[in-house]
Amino acid sequence: MTNTSSCSIACSSTPILPIEGNHVLHLFLKIDQTVWSYFDHEEQKEKLTAFEALVSEIRALPSTQLVTLSMVTPKADLGLMLVMPDLQLLDSYAKRLEQVLGFGVLIPTFSWLSMTERSEYGMNEEEYAAKLESEGAARGTIAFEEQMEAFRQRIEAYVKERLYPTLPGAPEWPVFCFYPMSKRRNPEQNWYALSLEVRKKLMHGHALVGRRFAGRVRQLITGSTGLDDQEWGVSLFAKTTSSIKEIVYEMRFDEVSVKYAEFGEFFIGIQMEPEALEKRLGLRGAIG
């Protein structure tokens, strides 16, 4: 249960909950070291303790996950990925995270709001039943029903993981990549002018490319249509940057990407727990 002090103002607001799934916020920030230097060592220690306490508070909330990242390129210094059901709480905690080190220390440089969602391109029961029949299985037989039940269980687990994922953690999955993307709507390359049958066939081939990286890359695709500038946010977790580079490269040759994909900026980070992250960011330094 969340106590009154941890909820702060958000607890007095009516929750904004999705019909299913969770809200997801990617937040990337720069650190103004000049502003940070205005605080004496004791103040800096207090603020870092407050940051660590806030991260622990957020992670203790039900159905909530928070990834903390050291961003590798100068696009940002600190990265946060926050997953939780209530948009009120997500907004409240995001603002507290921005302000916890003191006014002006953390400066947002990029953000992305999206939601976990099920895929519209997965095979449904009738399509799978037709597939079994085409392979010689007869409806009504024990073997047919056993395969159908196994299919239902796989789909249930898949949908659950899409809507309520467990994000991979460090140190096993240290490398993080995020990028937004959309499907083209050009006159000659309009994804939405294609029939659902054609789109499903194309996405099946696209998914087969991704499956070759099972065990090497974990992927979460979240929907941002109507919530942010493009249509999806793609979060990749890997054990090495080589896997990130390889999967993105291989996907570029798939027809879905070649003809219909528009990509935004790419952000690379390393998962770190708060204390190690503070040292990497130069916030702890002489404080110890």
Catalytic option among 179, 192, 249, 260: 179
Reading the chain (288 residues) residue by residue, the pLDDT tens digits are 344 444 554 556 899 999 999 999 999 999 999 999 999 999 999 999 999 999 999 999 999 999 999 999 999 999 999 999 999 999 999 999 999 999 999 999 999 999 999 998 988 899 999 999 999 999 999 999 999 999 999 999 999 999 999 999 999 999 999 999 999 999 989 999 999 999 999 998 888 888 999 999 999 999 999 999 999 999 999 999 999 999 999 999 999 999 999 999 999 999 999 999 999 999 987 555
Q: Are 183 and 193 in contact (CB under 8 A)?
A: no
Round to whole Å and give the CA distance between 237 and 224.
Answer: 19
Angle between helices 125-134 and 142-163 (to 10 degrees): 140
- Pair of tokens at residue 13: 């607001």
Domain residue ranges in the chain: 4-116
CATH of 4-116, one of 3.30.360.10, 3.40.720.10, 3.40.50.720, 3.30.70.1030: 3.30.70.1030
pLDDT 10s digits, 200-227? 999 988 888 889 999 999 999 999 999 9
- Dihedrals φ, ψ of 232, to 5°? -140, 155
Residue 232 class from Cβ within 10 Å (0-12 exposed, 13-18 middle, 19+ buried)? buried
Give pTM, 2 decimals.
0.91
Q: Are 100 and 92 in contact (CB under 8 A)?
A: no
- Dihedrals φ, ψ of 65, to 5°? -135, 145
Residue 2: what pLDDT?
A: 41
Residues linked to residue 268 through DSSP beta bridges, in sequence order: 177
Q: Is 179 a catalytic residue?
A: yes
